[in-house]
Amino acid sequence: MTTSPERTGAEVEHVTLTVDGVQVSVPKDTLVIRAAEQVGVQIPRFCDHPLLAPVGACRQCLVDVPDAGNGRGFPKPQASCTLQVAEGMVVNTQATSPVADKAQQGIMEFLLINHPLDCPVCDKGGECPLQNQAMSNGRGESRFSEGGGVKRTYPKPINISANVLLDRERCVLCARCTRFSEQIAGDPFIALIERGALQQVGIYEKEPFESYFSGNTIQICPVGALTSAEYRFRSRPFDLVSTPSIAEHDACGAAIRVDHRRGKVMRRLAGNDPEVNEEWITDKDRFGFAYAQLPDRLTYPQVRDESGELRPASWPEAFAVAARGLRAAGACAVLPGGRVTAEDAYAYAKFARVALGTNDVDFRARPLSAEEASFLAAEVVLRGPGDGGVTYADLEAASTVVLAGLEPEDEAGTIFLRLRKANRAHGTRVLALAPYSSRGLQKMGGRLLPTAPGDEPAVLDSLVGHSDFGLDASSVLLVGERLATVPGALSAAARLAHRTGARLAWVPRRAGDRGALEAGCLPTLLPGGRPVASPDARVDAATAWGVDRLPETPGRDTDQIVSALRSGELGGLVIGGVDPDDTSDPAATRAAIEAASFVVALELRETEVTRAADVVFPVAAAVEKAGMFVTWEGRPREFPAVLSVPHALPDLRVLAGIAEELGAPLGFRTVTEVRAQLTEMGPWDGERATLDEAAPAGAASGEGLRLATWKQMIDDGSLTDGEPYLRATARAPIARVSPATYATLPAGTAAVVVSGDRGELTLPVEVADDMVDGTVWVPARSAGAGVLAALAAPGSPVRLAATETPATPAGASDPAHHGGVQ
């Protein structure tokens, strides 16, 4: 019974009632507390939350109901948060009813008797619903304290997770946190325990509050009972400046609010975007911002001098040196990475074409395929809400959602919450092609379609006309970026969608991926989805840009750029936020950077890439510039700059500076100018590219287990650097095997060495009961240098051996591999 906007389109039946003498018409089943909001009356409340099921526990919202709509009134005041409206109902709130007012004052007085009233030292002070409502609906003096009353006390505070602290004295026991954890996140690791005034939020002593969404409980706590280890005692709300923004940690586009003070971000909160994240964000979105404030941030441009050392340089000098070096390097390529804003991505795309004269630009700094590029051009680019794109609302309304190459809880938290909501509210069926049923899948009420890595095309094909899982136009197929590593899988997904009428969407991992696709950071696409192969599209883009011609041959993708740099076909490289360990073949990427004759790096912090570069530009982090992220849906979400910093420029400004020195100005220097160009250029309205279907490769060759892997939400990725409390909530890295595989190991094996052609990882081993035989799952970036660098390519064969060696505990991997990449 949540009250999120209904999107059914059907005419909703309305009922008319009178609140404080004012007639108001609201949809049937509306709660009285919300109907009152419609006439401008705010009834005080604590336990009530529009996105949680009503509970009626705190009793703060009592109102007088002299007529329930049947001519008879309620003899007692009613909780307006649990009472549904009825035709002809008469409600008198505290504004007009002395009974309601006294009832509310009485409850407020009760709530405060066991509250410590430590507002002066409480983080919530200044933005506290208890404080505010005690002022508006309570008495000035405490009769309890005057009478010498003795309050209930506790030691304070206690950790209920590495990240979340609980001060039990302040708690008013509204159960918002426990209800959120149960109803929304599905992680009921906190619960009310004990009874009476000793009732308290508790955890099972051996199970801390482990949830990717735990921070939301802090935000919805109506008192200062829940605080974060990160923000506790750091600031007062009235000293903070708030700026709405968009989270940069995944492709979901969750709305956030960034609070800063004196040039430093102090905290981030969930924003309210009903179309996207409602009011929830992941802990990574909330707590992962320290990376931009670490001491190793680059604060000035550098150039490599005659002795081969990097030295500080002025911006104009660095622009000139970069331009000179790129010109001298011959053929150049551009790797912008996947975390750029759409505006920056556009700058990279235009820089490659106009300043470097090449289509060798690819945002994909991770395993990829030519099939994927074709799929993106044919099935993804330019589709958005209203243009045939799948939206969050569509997920909620879908009868069936098929997930392939996507583990939403780890890779797209907002999608996970929406699918869980859909499953709970409407019984939406979630089917996942995965090697085992993850906890995330279980929480979505999902069903596993057991799929070994590489078997996705066959399983997708089998869903056409499947007797149990018949897909139709009410179904949605979500494919993750990981599917690019399976030949034929994206083709099969497109085929399945076309044959069944199911709608198809692509979910990348990084916030900038979809925007970069739209902005033309692909060797085969120009901005606005213009196919490079189409002469019309090239002419269209050239005209918009005021240049004679654009390079005609489709460019190299990231993997091809890497090999061309190594072979010497390419000389220069402009590289953005790319961590070699994320790429298809980290060793090859390192060798390519080494082999390049001239490298220009745009980075936030010092990394192995900047150390190897010839010119290094410090660029602005997401909070330091205005920009736009495009969600996986294709929905644009703009955000303003939060901080203004002198030491870094947006990527687009850097690229514009180099281009000017190259004699090929890009025609913009600011975000506003880029936006104007993007608007003027518009989307391509000509023919879309068609999909070049790829054939499945069949079973992987070689003996051993097939390697399944994905990145856990909180792992060793560089965007959680500097936030130890968040890192501490990461799930411990383990290797998962099937019972049959485990049976081949010596009895009692607790840890294994997983070895592949790139190295080996030692991990604790666990059995996943429904794991596909012959498969081992390993988290991609939670141990050592990660799977790609230190184990093997996803889907390739690996071997397993029992070991006595204690496994590397979470977070204890070599810090050098955390990377310093943007």
Partner 1 sequence: MSEISTLTPVLTDNWDAERSWTLASYEAHGGYDGLRKALSMEPSAVIDEVKESGLRGRGGAGFPTGMKWSFIPQDNPKPKYLVVNADESEPGTCKDIPLMMASPHTLVEGVIISSYAIRANRAFIYVRGEVLHVIRRLQRAVQEAYLAGHLGKNIHGSGYDLDLVVHPGAGAYICGEETALLDSLEGRRGQPRLRPPFPAVAGLYASPTVINNVESIASVPSIIANGAEWFASMGTEKSKGFGIFSLSGHVKNPGQYEAPLGITLRELIDLAGGVREGHELKFWTPGGSSTPLFTAEHLDVPLDFESVAASGSMLGTRALQIFDDSTCVVRAVLRWTEFYKHESCGKCTPCREGTWWLVQTLAKLERGEGTEADLELLLDQCDNILGRAFCALGDGATSPITSSIQFFRDEYLAHLTHGGCPFDPAASTVFATAGAH
By CB under 8 A, name the binding residues for partner 1: 54-60, 62, 75-77, 82, 102-103, 106-107, 109-111, 113-114, 143-144, 147-150, 152, 172-173, 191-199
CB nearer partner 1, residue 60 or residue 718: 60
Shortest distance (Å) from residue 100 CB to partner 1: 11
CB nearer partner 1, residue 130 or residue 772: 130
- d(CA 148, CA 170) in angstroms, rounded, equals 19
Shortest distance (Å) from residue 80 CB to partner 1: 13
State the burial class of residue 1 (Cβ atoms within 10 Å of its Cβ: 0-12, 13-18, 19+).
exposed
Nearest to 413 by CA among 502, 503, 288, 517: 288
The DSSP code sequence of 410-422 is HH-HHHHHHHHHH
Shortest distance (Å) from residue 132 CB to partner 1: 17
Assigned token pair, 570: 């390419």
CB nearer partner 1, residue 148 or residue 263: 148
Shortest distance (Å) from residue 422 CB to partner 1: 21
CB nearer partner 1, residue 57 or residue 504: 57
**Phi, psi for residue 240 in degrees, rounded to 5:** -95, 150
CB nearer partner 1, residue 28 or residue 143: 143
Q: Look up tokens 């666990």; give the residue.
A: 766
- d(CA 166, CA 218) in angstroms, rounded, equals 9
Decide: 453 and 708 in contact? Cβ < 8 Å: yes
CB nearer partner 1, residue 178 or residue 813: 178
- d(CA 566, CA 451) in angstroms, rounded, equals 36
At residue 296, what is the residue type?
D
Residues in contact with 548: Cβ distance below 8 Å, sequence separation at least 6, in sequence order: 542
CB nearer partner 1, residue 59 or residue 653: 59
Q: Of all helices (H) and strands (E), which one includes residue 519?
A: helix 513-519
Shortest distance (Å) from residue 113 CB to partner 1: 5
- d(CA 288, CA 278) in angstroms, rounded, equals 20
- d(CA 38, CA 24) in angstroms, rounded, equals 7
Nearest to 621 by CA among 347, 372, 324, 288: 288
Shortest distance (Å) from residue 184 CB to partner 1: 18
Nearest to 213 by CA among 127, 128, 287: 287
Shortest distance (Å) from residue 150 CB to partner 1: 6
Triad 266, 270, 274: Cα angle to 5°: 160
CB nearer partner 1, residue 424 or residue 731: 424
Shortest distance (Å) from residue 391 CB to partner 1: 32
Shortest distance (Å) from residue 53 CB to partner 1: 9
CB nearer partner 1, residue 189 or residue 436: 189
CB nearer partner 1, residue 174 or residue 776: 174
Distances (CA, A) of 671 to 347, 528, 530: 10, 17, 22
Shortest distance (Å) from residue 206 CB to partner 1: 19
Nearest to 130 by CA among 227, 43, 237, 222: 222
